[in-house]
Amino acid sequence: MSTDGASSPSRLLPRLLGVLLLIMGLALLAGGVKLSMLGGSLYYLLAGIGLTLTGVLLLATRRAALGLYALVLFASTVWALWEVGLDWWQLVPRLALLFALGLVMLLPWFRRPLLRGQPAPLGTGALSVAVVLAGAAALASQFTTPGEMVKKGQLDRDAVPGMANAAPAQADGDWNAYGRSAFGDRYSPLAQITPANAHKLVPAWTFRTGDIPGAGDPGETTAENTPLKVNGMLYVCTPHSQVIALDPDTGKEIWRFDPKISSQGAENFKGWAHMTCRGVSYHDDAAYASEQSPTGSASPAAAPTACPKRIFVPTADTRLIALNADTGKMCEDFGDKGQIDLRANIGSFAPGGYYSTSPPAVTKNLVVIGGHVTDNVSTDEPSGVIRAFDVHTGKLVWNWDSGNPDDTTPLAEGQTYTRNSPNMWSMFAVDEKLGMLYLPMGNQMPDQYGGDRTDESEKYASGLTALDIDSGHVKWSFQFTHHDLWDMDVGGQPSLIDVKTEAGVKQAVMASTKQGSIYVLDRATGQPVVPIHEVAVPQGAVAGDRTSPTQPKSELNFMPPPLKERDMWGVTPFDQMLCRIDFKSMRYDGPFTPPSLQGSIVYPGNFGVFDWGGISVDPVRQIAFVNPSYMAFKSKLIPAAEIAKQGPRVSETEGVQPNKGAPYGVILEALLSPLGLPCQAPAWGYVAAVDLTNHQTIWMHKNGTVRDSSPIPIPLTMGVPSLGGTFTTAGGVAFLSGTLDQYLRAYDVKNGKQLWEGRLPAGAQTTPMTYTGKDGKQYVLVMAGGHGSLGTKQGDYVMAFKLPD
């Protein structure tokens, strides 16, 4: 009796799988050959051979396919465990697909046409063992965290004896500056919300600004605003520089000011690198009039003005505007009927090429402002000058130009500040008692080529500079990246805090950086409070350029270990293999690998371990609460003559950067797989706390899910990057909203436990804040408007949360 007719249809499944394995095998074989030629792992070449032969055997419906596949799966499991141990996310691309196909091959109706009624205990048994081993490895990996920079710990105190909040005084329930105070500490003395009740937080109100990205806006239109709460109102600014005053209890609009920004002669705003407003600044004559002088006598009251309380807002069309904080009307005694044209003495620039994205510093007598200059366009861009204006009249008092640092006398009409000098686009910190302004400085452009720079021109680049408030003269400076070729500008607002050390209490300034070091300096002298060491770094710049032999590294740092080929990741073996090929194709010698024509990996990338969100500090508990991110980027230098042949410039941090006037342009990209996922294995984002008395990390946990950044909205806690800052409270709760998923989260500062999360209607790549309403309740406020470059959902929401009544 013939069974061929009955069995032929059942051979379809093995043959279909045979075709699939043949295709998989040939793909791995081709990629494996290329990877091995680059000096990479031989696994993909060998696995490709094994899968190809298995596919051929399945097409021939040979039982030997079971044993051969068992060998491939077993060897893959051993190799995976050898490379990455019991790391679940690293095991997924190595074993998940092979494990699933092994289960299919064990199904009786799959094996029946292969065995043809004859026993095959060796092949079936071997495959069963291989499947069980792979499954056991996957199961065991659920209980371990190798490859993640996690640390469990517990802070054992609520306060350090003798330590108090030394920031300038304000009402406990207010938030009167971007970083809550001029110290940039982002610490609130409010304590209604505690680890015991934070889980009860509920929405209090939602306000929509009406300012959402339009067709004529740049891709990086972002809602990065941290509102102020002062003068009985909330003050919000929107991406298009509108200022809105809200009732803090209800979110009801009180007044709105629209500067009606111009496109500076351009058709639209698409040429702007950013369309954002991180914040506004507040000045109150009465608050300064009531202050006590160092001798105990009251400071003389300021002369009466039409605007005794002022809101200062920088606009995207290069103006600085003063508003009456009570009414929203322009203060006509300031500048030209309420505004200053910041284009004065700057020289030419493309529309959108120069303006301030960050709030100015405000002191008793001055409003001080820097400016953002679009990166990597040319070597002839506007100056990074810092200008101080009279807070009442708008008269220019002094200007500090790092290209002419010794002369702070205001320039005469018709003169121009030094072109292409390093700029300061972030937020100042201010210590009025010491009489100092602290400037987190950017690097001299272009970012990836420095052959034309001099020691003098980049003396103040990529570091922290302290200026005398009254004169603008340099008090001290400290450089964090020498001859910066990686866009390691200092993005975060410095935090001023008194730190308890073995040598006594030190008045310190803390600066978080993209490379991961947190530098702690004496804010009066600039000398290190936490030791800083010069460490050797890779050499070998492109022709015409040079590299610094060493770079400064703080003993307090969140620098990641160098990447290795095995750190490359993917969802499948195929995109992981392509990431490994990409990795091995480029130059990478560790941190500070110089840019190259070959293409270099930049890790940490210019997204930064810490960027403009900075850090928050608790001066009473003596801790810092931080949110480090880890994303690799790649840069490839392109000879100037070939720039025109390349693709378009997507933004100042992505795509072709022309660097007109330099011998090289550059292509910048995140290190991503063909599926658009990071090539490096997770986790990519964490929250952590640091004990400032000993510089040790207390705890560190991965943070954030892929709910809003994966095709399937599953809230898997992989640890995702965050952009934005944190704040801490006397109640022992810290808050963060900047992750790629749409949540505002609360954490116990003692152990990092997530206490609560509130779902948001859009991304919130900003820094939240807290205040007390007129009803006596503590509120937590966040702006949820999304971030164009990061691809988070955009909107126009301002949301407040509080404990239920």
Query: Could you say which of 487, 498, 545, 582 is catalytic?
Result: 487
Are 587 and 593 in contact by the 8 Å Cβ rule? The answer is yes
Instruction: Measure Cα distances from 401 to 351, 362, 607, 741 in Å.
Output: 22, 19, 27, 40
Q: In the sheet that 623-626 helps form, which strands lie side by side, from edge to edge?
A: 616-618, 623-626, 686-691, 696-702
Cis peptide before 683 (omega within 30 of 0): yes
∠ CA 682-685-691, rounded to 5°: 125
Residue 226 corresponds to which tokens in the numbers above?
């941290």
Query: DSSP assignment of 694-750, as one string?
Result: TTEEEEEEE--BSTTTSSS----B----B-S-EEEETTSEEEE--BSSSEEEEEETT
Distance CA 129, CA 150 (A): 33
Phi first, then psi, for residue 292 (nearest 5°) are -90, 135
487 given a catalytic annotation: yes
Place of tokens 């040319």: 378
Q: If DSSP codes are grouped into helix, strand and coil, which group holds residue 428?
A: coil
∠ CA 162-436-365, rounded to 5°: 115
Residue 517 corresponds to which tokens in the numbers above?
């070091």
Residue 448 corresponds to which tokens in the numbers above?
């990836």
Residue 633 corresponds to which tokens in the numbers above?
């980027």
Distance CA 214, CA 146 (A): 44
609 sits in the region (left: phi over 0; alpha: psi -120 to 50; else beta) called alpha
Which residues carry out catalysis?
A: 487
